Structure 1
Amino acid sequence: MASSRGGEALARSPEPHSPLRRRPPVAAEGDDGRGGVRRGEDQGAGGSVWADFSRRASAPVHRRVRESPLSSDAVFKQSHAGLLNLCIVVLIAVNGRLIIENLMKYGLLIRAGFWFSSKSLRDWPLLICCVTLPVFPLGAFTTEKMAQHKFISEPLVICLHVVLTMASILYPVYVIIRFDSAVLSGFTLMFFAIIVWSKLVSYAHTNYDRRVLSKSIHKDDIHSHFPELDDLKWVSFKSLVYFMVAPTLCYQLNYPRTTSIRKGWVIHQIVKLVIFTGLMGFIIEQYINPIIKNSQHPLRGNLLYAIERVLKLSIPTLYVWLCMFYCFFHLWLNILAELLRFGDREFYKDWWNAKTIDEYWRMWNMGVALMIAFFLSAIFHEICVAVPCQIFKFWAFIGIMFQIPLIVLTKYLQNKFKNTTVGNMIFWLFFCILGQPMCILLYYHDVMNRKVKL
């Protein structure tokens, strides 16, 4: 009876001068602390009384089983935006202090000779080579025209394409080695030549497949599903020209196009491109060059000293690599796409979230067989570095192929621990923190040793 009367007294409205008469502030939505009151539950007299009661000292606070936010069972269910902001602030503060300390200790070390030297001005044969590279796409178009009109057989078409693609690589290699060009000029030419080679391969492969489809009994079904293929036998010079300058390595007659060019947006991206390019130059001159000049060959000197140099070089190298990715894959390709009204701008996926090395390469080389991607990537990395440096030690090739065992390791760890962070941390550790600084030191000292012998 006493309990019943107590409940009835609690349900009745309080006296006019009672402390329970004061209406507390409405609880925030989703607030389940101090009694679990939620918005909408304090409607009416009963809800108001319960809300008032939940704020009293006698109201129970601990009403259910809950985990701490940073416990292993709840840590991945929480938002860590605040901690991420803290990390960004700390990163800016620490790097800002290091930049100021470096400038006070060494001064400004940037010199124009790294980017433009008297040797670079003598690299006019490389400029001529770069200007004449479009001869190979023109030869590929002539080959396809002759194949379209059946002037040459299919085996001869394939042979001509093989010759053209190989010549587009061997021609710049010969010019760079023959005229002993500057490293930066040679790297730029080889990078451009590899892009031309990749486009020529795609052009030849796509046109070959179109010829096969034109003879297929299912070509009507294919055309109904892919009307953009148009005439399967048609070869267009205009489409080839657009493809050679478009930000893609996959040839097709038509591409999705935007309606207009945003001039203000283009100017904004160009300004960012200039800023980040200058930032790369500052990091290279101010940090990377002094570190590698004060280092020893990592495979011949003291092991602990070599590890210290690699770790010290890893941070500025990582910054430069990220800036290069942002400048080329995001800024430059988007600028080019905007000027050409190229619509499909998914130039990269979120490879930085890759859980395994295998997943990283599949996202980086979408639609390419993994072993072929590894082998070609290893060869082209070696060509891009070894030819301008005129030294063939295969460090870049070995570095790329060494990731094959890492694929097996990260897959095993992913299947064993079912944790997405383990493989991602291994990817960042071996690919950026250890691999790239090691290759830089190896090539630098091999190039210096070559110059001493000469």
Structure 2
Amino acid sequence: MATSKTNSKVVHRANGQESHSNSSSTENRPVRQDAKNTEDMLQWTMHVERIKTEVIKHAKAQISEMLDKVLTDSLQSLSQSTHSNAVENAQQTDGNARRHRIQDGKVFVARQSMLDELFEISHIQTIYHMFIAALLLFIISTLAVDFIDQGRLVLEFDLFFYAFGQLGTVIWAWFIMFIYTLLGPYHILNQWSELYSQYQWKMLVSVATAVVLLGAQMSVLGYFPVYVVLHYQLPPASRFIIILEQIRFLMKSYSFMRETVVAVLRDKSKKGEAARFPTLSSYLYFLFCPTLIYRESYPRNPYIRWNYVRRNFAMILGSLFYLYFILVRLVIPVYMNESNQPFSRRTLVLAVFHSTLPGMLMLLLGFFAFLHCWLNAFAEMLRFADRMFYKDWWNSTSFANYYRTWNIVVHDWLYYYAYRDFLWLSGHRLRSLATLSVFAVSAFVHEYAFTMGFGFFYPVMFCLFAIIGVLFNFTLNDKRKGPMWNIIMWTCLFIGQGVQVCLYCLEWYAQIHCPRSGTGFWELVTPKSWTCNYKG
């Protein structure tokens, strides 16, 4: 009996332990399952957050690019549809009205410059700080070299004083060009508008006005700046100021005349409506605002941020000092040829690759100082709201896109007044020829500016734009995608800048060491660096 009781207790205890273990395992199983579900949920959440970040990043870039493209192309597509409808209804449309139909142009929208948006990101600010640190290193190294060689700690800016010499002549010459550009085309076109509405011989009035305008433009904005540059023998920076302002005034006045003539003809075609001529104040504002496309009004900001203006002018001054130290420390020592050895093919090749880094730094400084700082400073002072002076050209995978995004201000002028007007005149048939004409105009203007600025003819810029630029535009086109093509584009830019700096510096010192002996045509157009075997 005792044994049976004992066995029953053992069995009961075992059953109790088994039931307890079963209950424990049953209780732990949901806990482990919940932990696994929680871990899976966390991993999934992190994965979703990563996807969300990437989607937002790409969507922002795509939406920004898409909106820019839609805003600039919407009127073009609208005009094309209008043109197709006009063709379908050609029998019901007056031929002269259709022949004078001009497509609507650029749409201005209030927006920031891309670098202003990027500078709000700390990572981009760090890159900007790195460039400032490099400028400080240039200053310190220059002081150290001067102290070791000459025993003094003084920064001399002789190159600045030489390059920007005769500023008084530059100022009065600029003032004459400005006064003519403001009053000349405006009053001539205003007189034409009145005579066009009063006299029956409209074609005669238009031809006479065109002859007068052409003569005035050629005299004041054509011959006069060239005379000032050559007669007073201005130094390089002063030359470039006069020549670039000459080109700017020509482009501004052409835009005003083109837009005004079209507006007057359009108003005249509407029966019962008087032609409305633009106000002088709108034209004066256009001469200073950072765009080459004339409009009677632009989107405006409500106030001026003077701290922003001062900061941009300070960065322009810093960029000039940066350029000075690049020339003094990286460029001039290579081409002064202090080793008294004439330049050979080996030396030329080495000089090209020595010039790639300073050449690329000059390109970036020119972009930052002018297209960002200078244009934004004037846009802010004039409350001009459309700050899209450039796009993200640094991300380009094709030279076709690079040419479109590098300088939006000049690109808009070439696109609307050279490319589209050429297509309109040719009946939208010769697109390739229109593209070639734009490259030809750009190549001629760049070569003219460099020839007049440096004081000698060396068709480096013309060949780069008219030959290599055209070749790259059609071969490295928008079909090229991927990071590798961006690397190829940057490599070509580095080499191109090295070639420009090298050839122009060689010609500069050749002109100094081997002066021209005559004024004949071939003497003026033949580069001296081809025949001058000088020693430093």
Does TM-score exceed 0.5, indicating one fold? yes
**How far is 1:87 from its partner?**
9.5
Q: Which residue of 2 aligns with 1:171?
A: 224
Q: Per-residue displacement from partner, 1:32-88 (whole Å, max 9, x unpaired)?
A: 6xxx9989xxxxxxxxxxxxxxxxxxxxxxxxxxxxxxxxxxxxxxxxx99999999
The count of aligned residue pairs is 382
Q: Which residue of 1 aligns with 2:173?
A: 129
Matched, 1:290 2:333: yes
**How far is 1:92 from its partner?**
9.5
**How far is 1:113 from its partner?**
1.9
Residue 11 and residue 198 in structure 1: after superposition, are their counterparts in 2 closer, same or farther (change >3 A)?
Answer: farther
Paired letter, 2:305: R
Q: Which residue of 432, 445, 448 maps to 2:506?
A: 445
Q: Which residue of 2 aligns with 1:335?
A: 377
Q: Distance in 2 between matches of 1:210 and 1:323?
A: 39
Matches within 5 A, 1:36-435: 111-117=156-162, 120-121=165-166, 124-134=168-178, 135-150=180-195, 153-167=205-219, 168-216=221-269, 233-294=276-337, 301-363=343-405, 364=407, 365-366=411-412, 367-368=415-416, 369=419, 370-401=435-466, 402-411=468-477, 415=479, 419-431=481-493, 433-435=494-496
Select the structure that is richer in helix: 2
Q: Distance in 2 between matches of 1:328 and 1:132?
A: 24
Deviates more, 1:376-385 or 1:106-115: 106-115
Q: Distance in 1 between matches of 2:229 and 2:47?
A: 73
Q: Distance in 2 between matches of 1:252 and 1:404?
A: 31
Residue 96 and residue 358 in structure 1: after superposition, are their counterparts in 2 closer, same or farther (change >3 A)?
Answer: same
Q: Which residue of 2 aligns with 1:14?
A: 28
**How far is 1:419 from its partner?**
3.2
Q: Distance in 2 between matches of 1:175 and 1:439?
A: 27
TM-score (norm 2): 0.62
**How far is 1:444 from its partner?**
2.3
- For the 8 Å contact 2:163–2:235, the answer to whether it is kept is no
Q: Structure 2: any 5+ residue segments left out of the alignment?
A: 1-21, 49-120, 148-152, 197-203, 420-434, 517-536
Paired letter, 1:120: G
**How far is 1:22 from its partner?**
11
- For the 8 Å contact 2:359–2:501, the answer to whether it is kept is no
- For the 8 Å contact 2:400–2:473, the answer to whether it is kept is yes
Give RMSD over aligned pairs.
4.1
Deviates more, 1:197-206 or 1:367-376: 367-376
Q: Per-residue displacement from partner, 1:9-29 (whole Å, max 9, x unpaired)?
A: 99832299x9x6996996597
- For the 8 Å contact 2:139–2:325, the answer to whether it is kept is no
Residue 360 and residue 118 in structure 1: after superposition, are their counterparts in 2 closer, same or farther (change >3 A)?
Answer: closer
Q: Distance in 2 between matches of 1:269 and 1:200?
A: 27
**How far is 1:136 from its partner?**
3.1
Q: Distance in 2 between matches of 1:188 and 1:111?
A: 23
Paired letter, 1:279: Y
- For the 8 Å contact 1:126–1:176, the answer to whether it is kept is no
Q: Per-residue displacement from partner, 1:117-164 (whole Å, max 9, x unpaired)?
A: 39814x643332111112133110111111111167112222333334
**How far is 1:210 from its partner?**
0.9
Deviates more, 1:250-259 or 1:419-428: 419-428
Sequence identity percentage: 20
Deviates more, 1:189-198 or 1:142-151: 142-151
Q: Which residue of 2 aligns with 1:59?
A: none
Q: Distance in 2 between matches of 1:268 and 1:117?
A: 26
Q: Which residue of 2 aligns with 1:61?
A: none
Q: Distance in 2 between matches of 1:320 and 1:191?
A: 18
2:165 is paired with a residue of what secondary structure? Answer: helix
2:195 is paired with a residue of what secondary structure? Answer: coil
Q: Distance in 2 between matches of 1:94 and 1:182?
A: 28
- For the 8 Å contact 1:136–1:164, the answer to whether it is kept is no
1:159 is paired with a residue of what secondary structure? Answer: helix
**How far is 1:263 from its partner?**
2.1
TM-score (norm 1): 0.72
Q: Per-residue displacement from partner, 1:170-189 (whole Å, max 9, x unpaired)?
A: 31112111221111110111
Paired letter, 1:142: H
1:437 is paired with a residue of what secondary structure? Answer: helix
Residue 31 and residue 233 in structure 1: after superposition, are their counterparts in 2 closer, same or farther (change >3 A)?
Answer: same
